[in-house]
Copies of this chain bind each other. A is one copy, B any other.
Amino acid sequence: MTGRQSSEPPRFDATFQASLRDLILWRRDVRRFKTDPVAPELISSLIGLAASAPSVGHCQPWRFVLVERPSCRDEIKASFARANADALEGYSGERRRMYARLKLEGLKAAPVHLAIFADEETDVGSGLGRQTMPESVRYSVVAAIQTLWLAARAHGLGVGWVSILEPERVAAALKVQKAWSLVAYLCIGWPHEEHVDPELDRQGWQSKIEAEKLIFRR
């Protein structure tokens, strides 16, 4: 038993539930940032909340790397450029023209670059819960990322997840431990515009599927 338990559980009312719904619906993948700085204390506090995400066996495998040096950022931008050029080659015709016009990252303007890794070999948690599904270590890191994303949006911050990157090259550029695998590279900053619909929906690339169609019963 710890002292922390003595505090009373919070109650969440209908007003909060409605605002949380708005938060979830208005969270966006942002690619257009203002260059205005973000207070380091705000970033630390968001990372603190992210570290309260669930993790398998309480192994807390998230490792947060703030990428600040221009030389490191240049390597990330170069990795995106290569991966994106390769991806473009996979499309043809109108789809290719459309892909080429999409804005898929905000690496240049975003004041904060945050690479998030999973320490796949951590012995924190003594391996509990991850014998049959070792991928749950990386999944825990994603739970932290989504927590950070929602908390950031509640402060008006935009987050963009860049997945068009070469994960090994990113790990090498950032000189992280061998056991760490890249889960996400996030751009964070103040957004230029706010939308309730995803960029790829708005640009005609892919529309939303009705959630009811994704529910099955057994």
Contact = CB atoms under 8 A, between A and B. Distances in A.
By secondary structure, the A interface counts as mixed
Given A133-B167, A166-B132, A4 B197 contact: yes
A64 B161 contact: no
B146 A142 contact: yes
B1 A202 contact: yes
A66 B29 contact: no
A67 interface: yes
Nearest to A64: B215
Per assembly, the copies of the chain total: 2
A86 B200 CA distance: 45
A107 interface: no
Interface string A174-218: 111000001110000000001111101110011011011011111
Contacts of A153: 12
Contacts of A155: 12, 17
Contact of A20 (B139, B145, B151): B151
A124 interface: yes
B165 A64 contact: no
B68 A49 contact: no
Contacts of A208: 58, 60
A48 to B, nearest CB: 4
Given A17-B154, A19-B10, A146-B143, A214 B63 contact: yes
A212 to B, nearest CB: 7
10 contacts: A10-B19, A12-B155, A24-B52, A51-B214, A53-B146, A58-B198, A87-B128, A104-B129, A132-B164, A147-B150
Given A57-B205, A87-B129, A132-B166, 17 more contacts: A2-B201, A4-B196, A4-B197, A5-B197, A12-B23, A21-B49, A24-B147, A48-B211, A53-B146, A57-B200, A86-B131, A124-B206, A132-B163, A132-B164, A132-B165, A133-B167, A146-B146
Instruction: Give the 8 A-B residue pairs with the shortest CB-CB distance, closest first.
Output: A142-B142, A51-B211, A9-B194, A58-B200, A58-B206, A10-B22, A146-B146, A143-B146
